[in-house]
Structure 1
């Protein structure tokens, strides 16, 4: 191992031909802060023209997961303190990193082992080679705090089969490894006990075989995903024009699963759900990831600057932990017509790109 160094909350080193970036904040399931994003960005820029680095690996320290998302407690503190511009800087840096990973000239491999949610999807979901394991738990859970999926999550959700993008975007439900491959959030399933051997093979391969071919030597077939069995009722309900229409169709199906989904949606922030539905459907028609990130940026900064539900959702779930958010408005019936329009049309003070 050469060029070993420990940077703040990110371990940066090279192992053979492999440039390895390990998120090193295990006590917070490697939640991202601005310093970590800057280190990742700076290192990827440095390795871009480094001929010794042929493949980049992104993984996470600890046993719990790759990354639980962004540091939303810090986000809450900034907004409450009137520091919205610092929050905007964070999102600009994060989204630029997401785009960089997607467009990187060298293969980027991501180990989405364990919890990989929110900002973790932004790192792993746009890599060239995305690996999940039997321990993987992937989600875009932003609606649980009155927010909307970002980090290019709408781009991935919009390309999921059928209406699973709307379903997972609105409910924030968790995917296992097999689900993630089926939905297009991952490419390969590798048992967690084989990740170290895979990393060694990527770093010290003795022939010019590409990383995809190497991964196939470790790839295994997971237990089948159960999602196709739910596709009929999900496609029917989540193709409705509005969130209220989705809930009505869920109740009409009359199954335990559809009723539970309706109940879940009725307890989430009406505005966040409506903005999310609008965002996923917009992203489905966009030409690329950068356009989806721009749409997310508009919506995210609208929440930061114009709407109280994000701060309220973080307060209820993570600060005071009373689990009793007071949404504005509190019910779907009280939403204005086309309630997603203000977020969709919001013009940030500074453009994303």
Structure 2
């Protein structure tokens, strides 16, 4: 499909409005969408008549469920290397453009926001969660790793909550998102059209986003912040699991569920994610995105991503054959080397 059938751009007074319009695909980002979106942001950045941008998803079920994983999988399996890396470069370049965008950038998030959907929302200035907001970075469950700038963002969350999100891939709702700062505000989805009308008028953005609605209370992740901090401050995935197992043995259902989730994930992906959380605090955003591009070149040459996508999205048997199958078999030197320069030409995300 042409990008203009998948993503729509409108000028409404002072507002530039982006609508992701692939509802049947949960508004997953295609290569054409990434390229068109980035070009439009560059144009609006240079246009003095546009003083703010808003992004929303069509259909109500999802803001954006991420990048088009089925397309990426097909490119890799069919040996279409140029198409494969064109997608990763376009998605990461779009995320970097959002992060450095100088004007107010408002994401109105209804439904699922995962993967690339987090990348095009979390790094903007304003993130409004609705009652159906559902955040996750579940990449370790398909043999990938939390990318789209999560090397930078997740380690900076309080109480090691970012490590919890990275290693479990667990889903959280609006209450926890607000408590962690993943969302900057709350509004029911029914108020989104009113918010857009106010933004178009050109007044103060914060005033336009203010609606009378009772925000949801913090959720289970915020309630367990002490336990999360104790367990996920550990230096390795094995140690995280050991601490969670200890807490579960003492009666914590939350710890038991987290440990069980982690044990279903790709051991290689878990080790990459843990290393991202260790290195991320020292990185600037462009460095983090470049590190993720380097990592993805290694993952695309490996086994687990293609097996994970097969098991979760294609055959849907949910029985991935991870290789290696255990954390003990993962080579720490190989994980460290994966953060080094890629063998292929590296784009700049500065």
TM-score, normalized by length of structure 1? 0.93
Q: Paired residue for 1:350? A: 345
Q: Paired residue for 2:287? A: 291
Unaligned runs of 5+ in 2: none
Deviation at 1:342, TM superposition (A): 2.9
Q: Which of 5, 10, 15 is the aligned partner of 1:13?
A: 10
- The alignment partner of 2:99 has SS state of helix
Q: Counterparts of 1:309 and 1:115 in 2: how far apart (Å)?
A: 24
Unaligned runs of 5+ in 1: 1-5
Contact 2:179–2:218 (CA under 8 A) maintained in structure 1 = no
Q: Paired residue for 1:30? A: 27
Distance 1:219 1:281, change over 3 A: farther
Q: Paired residue for 1:81? A: 78
**Number of residue pairs aligned between Structure 1 and Structure 2:** 343
Deviation at 1:346, TM superposition (A): 4.7
Q: Which of 56, 61, 64 is the aligned partner of 2:61?
A: 64
Q: Paired residue for 1:45? A: 42
TM-score, normalized by length of structure 2? 0.93
Q: Which of 207, 222, 236 is the aligned partner of 1:228?
A: 222
Larger deviation: 24-33 or 226-235? 226-235
Q: Paired residue for 1:122? A: 119
Distance 1:61 1:228, change over 3 A: closer
Distance 1:248 1:11, change over 3 A: same
Contact 1:23–1:60 (CA under 8 A) maintained in structure 2 = yes
Q: Counterparts of 2:207 and 2:177 in 1: how far apart (Å)?
A: 20
Q: Which of 266, 271, 282 is the aligned partner of 1:269?
A: 266
Deviation at 1:105, TM superposition (A): 2.3
- The alignment partner of 2:120 has SS state of helix
Distance 1:155 1:337, change over 3 A: closer
Contact 1:48–1:105 (CA under 8 A) maintained in structure 2 = yes
Q: Counterparts of 1:84 and 1:173 in 2: how far apart (Å)?
A: 31
Q: Paired residue for 1:302? A: 298
Q: Paired residue for 2:310? A: 315
Q: Counterparts of 2:118 and 2:130 in 1: how far apart (Å)?
A: 15
Deviation at 1:337, TM superposition (A): 3.7
- The alignment partner of 1:162 has SS state of helix
The answer as to 2:156 corresponding to 1:159 is: yes
Contact 2:55–2:106 (CA under 8 A) maintained in structure 1 = yes
Contact 1:274–1:339 (CA under 8 A) maintained in structure 2 = no
Contact 2:179–2:222 (CA under 8 A) maintained in structure 1 = no
Deviation at 1:345, TM superposition (A): 2.3
Deviation at 1:128, TM superposition (A): 1.1
